[in-house]
Structure 1
Amino acid sequence: MAERPDPSPATLTDRIAAELSAFLTDRAGLLTEVSADLSVLAEAARAAVLTGGKRLRPTFAYWGWRCVQPAGAAGEAELVRAAAGLELLHACALVHDDVMDSSDTRRGQPAAHVRFGEFHHERGWPGSGRSFGAAGAILLGDLLLSWSEELFTAAIGCLPRDRARAATAEFDLMRTEVVAGQFLDMLAQARGAFDPDEALRVVEYKTSKYTVQRPLLLGAGAAGGSAELVEVLSAYGLLIGEAFQLRDDLLGVFGDPSQTGKPAGDDLREGKRTLLVALAHQAADPSQRALLQDGIGDPALTADGVARLREVLRQTGAPERVEQRISERAAAAARCLAGGSLQPAAAQALLQLAQAAAHRTS
């Protein structure tokens, strides 16, 4: 049988979107069988999952599989379906993250807790719309987490038992590590320190492992990848995951809101203890340090206040140092791939993903 051509990024994204849409349509039917009132929950789930998003985690899972298996190999459809479950997990994390950070928007649209709050307000119900919105978002996130396991388990169980077990082990670690990373992030904000090592530890667990490394290893495990391949992909995943998050940190402060889908300066208002602000604090003079300490984490920070903090960051040279680190991580990831015995198409795709992660604008 001739090998099927490799999918374009758009084609792969379409396959993942189709799996998600079909699954959510089916589960919406189950909800509305319970009560028509649950249609608002089903609609919120579709909005949280299907509106925007880069589908990075299932994409990395697919290319982890393709490091071992040729295009169209037996089990690929099941792997893509299982990988789509990672998007449900990610949607859960985003819904809960927006509640914790009091973020009003996500991907240019109202965040889930805002949608639920507006639903309450429009009906003129008594009580707090804000509390209703937060409660609705927590339940939505819980539902998405449950559905992620349901979709993943049903699909991965169709693969040979040893390969399904290897992929499931990565999925289990992925869920634990992202919660660990989120909690470490919360601790860093609560402590209020400007510690580069702490910032990088949060990046490793909240992004590097969760976004790149574990999805890659999940796909490779499902494909029957060797221990040598796991070592190569592990190193690549940590490097590119860090580059991706450091780019995200820069965009969170200096990005164009029309492209990022999030108001510029929100990370500063939320008090995110990123490597960017930690490096700036290290290099700042006393007056600059005072501005950073007073402004970062101030929820009432105005647009002028954001502009002043941006200027301090620039003056300390922190953005340039972060840019340099991103470039170094992307180059090191490319060297990892060059030393591994990957399928050529997969190696090329991972190189392209590395460049996209390091140099994206949204």
Structure 2
Amino acid sequence: MHSTALSDLREAVAERVLTALDDRTAHLAHVGAPLTDFLAPARSLLGGGKRLRALLCGAGWAAAAPDASLGGPVVLAGSALELFQGAALVHDDVMDASQTRRGMPSAHRRFALEHAERDWLGDADDYGQASAIVLGDLLLSLSSMEMDEAQAAVGPAAGGRARRTYDAMTAEVALGQYLDVRSQAQPWEDDGDAALARALQVVRHKSARYSVEHPLLVGAALAGADDDLLAALSAVGLPLGEAFQLRDDELGVFGDPSTTGKPAGDDLREGKRTALLAMTVRRAGADDRALLRDRVGAADLTGDDVAALQRVMRATGAVEEHERMIEARYQAGLVALATAALPRRADALLRELAAALTRRAA
């Protein structure tokens, strides 16, 4: 992020998130060491990240209040979004059995390792998963508290609309997570178009709207945006959100572990039914389809397996098609942005963020 406004907001939100974690659990300090242990994985997780959702919230605010600073309610709402993201990541890692997050052990693995090191009773993995689930629940609660404070800071009309947008976002993400789990449980099918449509449905409901569109709308609503502006921002946010998630799916297969913080080919190991995978299956011959069905999602997937699956994805032209899909959505977002005719500062912020969402390596 090069603009001063975005850099300042990012720093303010990063500070606020950790402050919220401490201040909103201060009444529980009498518990002592167990509380410290409980919060430690969250503190590590929340200490990093790109803060894109908070920055998009700031861009939405700037669209509706071009002369107002990116502080106060925006920082609180940005903190709410980042805490919600933290909860989603903790829960997502449990569901996907992910071992790492941002180059560190995922929350459930960290809890499990502590259990094993202390030689406690019961199964370490069960303990880790249960602890991570309730940690995610705590972060959801803290996120809601932060959003309550942001809502109160701007008054009932704007605050109420922003809160309703936030509530719709949190409900939709739960549905999106279920759709993702459901898609991985369903049998492989030969109808590539149906598989692609299902993958894009997951993209839209699990990530695209909550990663881009909803943060934009929360920020704009807090600043008193009218229906026309909110509709214009939705038209910008949805295609950019889809492009963001599609890029994420590609990085889940081809990303550099030193940059992504996750093992190479992690989405292949987890068996993610992504649009990229659907495109590959649709284009692959019989032998390659058999390889995909046999090895994608295999618990014993090796580095050689990952390389073989990557070769199939490239050789079929699926990666090129996937790149075209990302680019088409990026361009659709820019067209919608031009049509929206936003104030100059908001337009510049969104153009910078659009590039960051889609032109990234992590």
Selected match of 1:66 from 62, 78, 87 = 62
Please say if 1:31 is aligned against 2:28.
Answer: yes
The answer to whether the 8 Å contact 2:56/2:215 transfers is: yes
* Partner residue, 2:39: 42
Distance (whole Å) between structure 2 residues aligned to residue 341 and residue 314 of structure 1: 39
Q: CA deviation at 1:79?
A: 2.4
* Partner residue, 1:310: 310
One-letter amino acid of the structure 2 residue matched with residue 23 of structure 1: A
In 2 relative to 1, CA 224–28 (structure 1 residues): closer, same or farther, beyond 3 Å?
closer
* Match runs of 1:182-197 below 5 Å: 182-193=177-188, 195-197=195-197
The answer to whether the 8 Å contact 1:192/1:273 transfers is: no
Runs of 4+ in 1 over 2 A off after TM superposition: 6-10, 27-32, 34-37, 70-73
The answer to whether the 8 Å contact 1:229/1:341 transfers is: no
Q: CA deviation at 1:192?
A: 3.6
Q: CA deviation at 1:38?
A: 1.6
Deviations 1:153-212 (A, max 9, x none): 022212121000110010001100111111001111000436000000000011111101
Q: CA deviation at 1:297?
A: 1.2
One-letter amino acid of the structure 2 residue matched with residue 20 of structure 1: V
Structure 1 residue runs of 5 or longer lacking an equivalent are 1-5
Q: CA deviation at 1:357?
A: 1.2
Please say if 1:56 is aligned against 2:52.
Answer: yes
The answer to whether the 8 Å contact 2:56/2:212 transfers is: yes
Deviations 1:206-243 (A, max 9, x none): 11111011111111111111222111111111100111
Deviations 1:343-362 (A, max 9, x none): 11111111111111111011
Question: Could you say what secondary structure the match of 1:70 adopts?
Answer: coil
* Partner residue, 1:154: 149
* Partner residue, 1:82: 77
Distance (whole Å) between structure 2 residues aligned to residue 30 and residue 115 of structure 1: 25
Please say if 1:263 is aligned against 2:259.
Answer: no
* Partner residue, 2:99: 104
* Partner residue, 2:226: 226
Please say if 1:207 is aligned against 2:221.
Answer: no
Q: Report % sequence identity.
A: 45
Deviation larger for 22-31 or 301-310: 22-31
Structure 2 residue runs of 5 or longer lacking an equivalent are none
Q: CA deviation at 1:31?
A: 2.8
* Partner residue, 1:332: 332
Deviation larger for 17-26 or 259-268: 17-26
Please say if 1:116 is aligned against 2:111.
Answer: yes
The answer to whether the 8 Å contact 2:21/2:142 transfers is: no
Q: CA deviation at 1:90?
A: 0.7
Q: CA deviation at 1:71?
A: 4.4
The answer to whether the 8 Å contact 2:66/2:346 transfers is: no
Q: CA deviation at 1:113?
A: 0.6
TM-score, scaled relative to structure 2? 0.95
The answer to whether the 8 Å contact 2:20/2:142 transfers is: no
Deviations 1:307-362 (A, max 9, x none): 11111111110000010111111111111111113111111111111111111011
Q: CA deviation at 1:76?
A: 4.0
Question: Could you say what secondary structure the match of 1:264 adopts?
Answer: coil
Distance (whole Å) between structure 2 residues aligned to residue 260 and residue 234 of structure 1: 28
* Partner residue, 1:91: 86
Deviations 1:105-158 (A, max 9, x none): 001100001111111111111211111111110110011111110111022212
One-letter amino acid of the structure 2 residue matched with residue 30 of structure 1: H
Selected match of 1:133 from 103, 128, 132 = 128
Distance (whole Å) between structure 2 residues aligned to residue 304 and residue 76 of structure 1: 49
Deviation larger for 212-221 or 154-163: 154-163
Distance (whole Å) between structure 1 residues aligned to residue 336 and residue 67 of structure 2: 23
* Partner residue, 2:11: 14
TM-score, scaled relative to structure 1? 0.95
Distance (whole Å) between structure 2 residues aligned to residue 25 and residue 38 of structure 1: 11
